[in-house]
Structure 1
Amino acid sequence: MQIRKANSSDLPEIISLLKASLGESLIPKSEELWNWKHVANPFGASPLLIAEDAGLICGVRVFLRWEFRQGDQLIKACRAVDTAIHPDYQGKGLFKNLTLSLIEELKEEGVEMIYNTPNAQSSSGYLKMGWEKWGKLPLKMHFNLNLGKSKNLSQSSDWSSITGLIQKIEKTEFDSEQIQTNLVSGYLHWRYVSCPLFPYDFVSDGESYLLIYRIKEGKIGRELRIVDFFQLADFGKNEKKQLNTRLKTIQKNESVRFTSYSGLKFTNDLPIEMGIMPVMSIGPEVTLRKVAATDNLLEKDWGWSLGDLEVF
């Protein structure tokens, strides 16, 4: 058996292996999704290893490149995402071998850490390979008690109308001391506009703030899930009032049962009106793994948004 870096000609067989190993589930296995996630990513192409036996690709392990920033400090990271082992090769340690081999390669590139949000089934395997539990993101929920019939008045957001604002946000040096995603040029368009998984919409005045959300169908009704929020220096009381008025209109038009906001920005005077329910630690569980970092990752001042941690 040979472990090697993949090349573009391997992609059709990789997609077939993902389907055979994982099925389609809620996330389709397609070349379109793969190219968006692992090729078009503004942080760079994904590092990828495959295991090959007698000409057959029997294992795939890939990390998604990411960058964080804390002030002037850039933190190179990866997110552990796609992995697949052919059913005939499962239970033989191939997943662990591929994962640890890829980590060794990342050390040479100066990648400091890997993060992910594993499910209950995969969490124990990651912990055995050196991952540590950071904990669950706080989650704030607000239920709409005056739920009416959907008026379907909301239209899909015209992202082209806020091109200037997006460029302004990506060029702004935010003064937060928290560690947040490095907003490189093209990040917001890649992450939200061209994402093939979910349709994202926004609320904005086009000048001082941008709230990004998606509507999600659930067992208890429609959810308005806020995934990211950016405010610039000229965001004030009038803009805050406008933002919350527009949100209420969307909630009504879309028959939203509840609105959710998960992340680490609740201590920063969140301008979104989310009712009196307490913040609960029931969001995605985050795990971290050192690669080249020397300090304690668990004690760092993280400022994740849900957009950084959504499963995709």
Structure 2
Amino acid sequence: MGLVIRLVEERDKTEVLSLLNSVFSENQRTASLRDEAYWKWKFLDGPYGPSMLIVAEQDGRIVGVNNWWSWEFIVRGQVVKALQPSDSAVHPDYRGQGCFKQLRIYGLKAVQGTGVRLLFNYPNENSLHAYLSLGWHFQKPIPWRVRVLRPLSLVKGLFSAAKSEALVIDPTYKIDVRVLNEMAQKTDGYDHFLKINRVPGFHQWRYLNHPHRSYGMITYTRGHKKTAAVFTINKKGHSLEMVVVDMLGSVENTLPLFRRIMDAGRQMNVGFIAVMDNIFFNTPALWRLGFVKRCYKNMVVLPLDLTLESHVKGYGNWSLMAGMHDSI
């Protein structure tokens, strides 16, 4: 019997999780595994609706998986429904046989007429060609801003063979969802940036309900202008890595906010701080605080609504956050 591409069924859960873990254990940085809690959080409970999970079946065996993660963005007050094809895995015995492409084509056909206007993702070098062969637009390697606080710790982390583990954040930095929701209202606007559509429940789901990762919050207020940053910390060997995954509120506070983040990083003995470059929050200006630019991973987009094409292909039109990636 040939390869069958279909939507996932409840009976497939154990086999799908097993395939994802066996494939991603080869090259993922983190030690966390995909389990039932991850299944519920990622595939079912998202604030924009459940994922579209597609499987490839051969002789009754799941040999390929592709999840289309539901997202929404907002630009000039207009909501843009989007999907991020993630959790893509093909069993080693079936690679090079067109399984990945068939999963993608099935997904592309399935989203027609659903109101989805945009597809985006962050492929590594191994999968980038597969996206480009299907007509996706390559934005650029994603720039990050990195500030080294403890050089020796950084070097130890780079040479450590250990998988990174998410640390539990000190209660001092406990996330206040109410504050994040207030900041979200001040971040929204009618400018040209594509931003996360922070619907009710988004911050609770993304940062408090994540099954395998802990997050903290740091704020800075000047007059009536307040800015918040959400961060997480990884432990890799004996090195600690602080990643700023989200920013909300006034864009005028970026530099003083990051001074406060650096102070917190020093107190927690992190080796370095990293944040995805964000033009809206003017993170390129962080060079003034000693941050340097480093590119990591790629970004690709496929606008299904052609009226969005020129806009979403401009990298500078995005307000990108690392929180748009499930593993951080």
What TM-score results when the alignment is normalised by the length of structure 2? 0.79
* Match in the other structure for 2:40: 35
* Match in the other structure for 2:233: 215
SS in structure 1 of the partner of residue 171 of structure 2: coil
Which of the numbers 293, 300, 322 marks the counterpart of 1:280?
293
**Greater Cα offset, 284-293 or 42-51:** 284-293
Question: Aligned partners of 2:263, 2:186: CA distance in 1, in Å?
Answer: 29
Question: Aligned partners of 1:199, 1:256: CA distance in 2, in Å?
Answer: 16
SS in structure 2 of the partner of residue 43 of structure 1: coil
The alignment's C-alpha RMSD in Å is 3.2
Matches within 5 A, 1:264-275: 264-265=278-279, 268=281, 275=288
Query: Once the two structures are superposed, what CA deviation does each residue of 1:51-108 show, in whole Å capped at 9, x if it has no partner?
Result: 2233322222211111111022111111110122233333211111111111111122
SS in structure 1 of the partner of residue 212 of structure 2: coil
SS in structure 2 of the partner of residue 137 of structure 1: strand
Change (3 A) 1:86 1:221: closer
| 1:196 and 2:201 are equivalent in the alignment | no
* Match in the other structure for 1:254: 268
Query: Percent identity of the aligned residues?
Result: 24
**Greater Cα offset, 269-278 or 45-54:** 269-278
Match for 1:14: what amino acid?
V
Which of the numbers 187, 191, 196 marks the counterpart of 1:181?
196
**Greater Cα offset, 181-190 or 246-255:** 246-255
* Match in the other structure for 1:229: 247
Matches within 5 A, 1:1-312: 1=2, 2-23=4-25, 25=28, 26=30, 27-144=32-149, 155-157=170-172, 159=174, 162-172=176-186, 174-175=188-189, 176-204=191-219, 208-217=226-235, 221-232=239-250, 243=257, 246-265=260-279, 268=281, 275-277=288-290, 280=293, 282-294=295-307, 295-296=309-310, 297-299=312-314, 301-309=317-325, 311=327
Match for 2:200: what amino acid?
S
Question: Aligned partners of 1:251, 1:211: CA distance in 2, in Å?
Answer: 13
Query: Once the two structures are superposed, what CA deviation does each residue of 1:163-195 show, in whole Å capped at 9, x if it has no partner?
Result: 321332345562243111111111112111221
Match for 1:40: what amino acid?
D
* Match in the other structure for 1:151: none
Match for 1:132: what amino acid?
H
Change (3 A) 1:146 1:130: closer
Question: Aligned partners of 1:92, 1:244: CA distance in 2, in Å?
Answer: 48
Q: Is the 8 A contact 1:115 1:288 kept in 2?
A: yes
SS in structure 1 of the partner of residue 111 of structure 2: helix
Match for 1:202: what amino acid?
M
SS in structure 2 of the partner of residue 202 of structure 1: strand
Change (3 A) 1:186 1:179: same
SS in structure 1 of the partner of residue 306 of structure 2: coil
Match for 1:183: what amino acid?
R
Match for 1:308: what amino acid?
M
Change (3 A) 1:248 1:58: closer
Question: Aligned partners of 2:99, 2:258: CA distance in 1, in Å?
Answer: 50
Match for 2:266: what amino acid?
K
SS in structure 1 of the partner of residue 193 of structure 2: coil
Question: Aligned partners of 1:140, 1:85: CA distance in 2, in Å?
Answer: 33
Match for 1:5: what amino acid?
L
* 1:205 CA drift (Å): 6.2
Q: Is the 8 A contact 2:90 2:99 kept in 1?
A: yes
**Which runs of 5 or more residues in structure 1 are unaligned?**
149-153
Match for 2:182: what amino acid?
K
Question: Aligned partners of 2:43, 2:59: CA distance in 1, in Å?
Answer: 26
Q: Is the 8 A contact 2:55 2:103 kept in 1?
A: yes
* 1:197 CA drift (Å): 3.2
Change (3 A) 1:232 1:280: closer
SS in structure 2 of the partner of residue 199 of structure 1: coil
Question: Aligned partners of 1:155, 1:124: CA distance in 2, in Å?
Answer: 41
Runs of 4+ off more than 6 Å: 145-148
* 1:146 CA drift (Å): 10
SS in structure 2 of the partner of residue 230 of structure 1: strand
**Which runs of 5 or more residues in structure 2 are unaligned?**
154-168
Query: Once the two structures are superposed, what CA deviation does each residue of 1:101-127 show, in whole Å capped at 9, x if it has no partner?
Result: 111111221212211111111111111
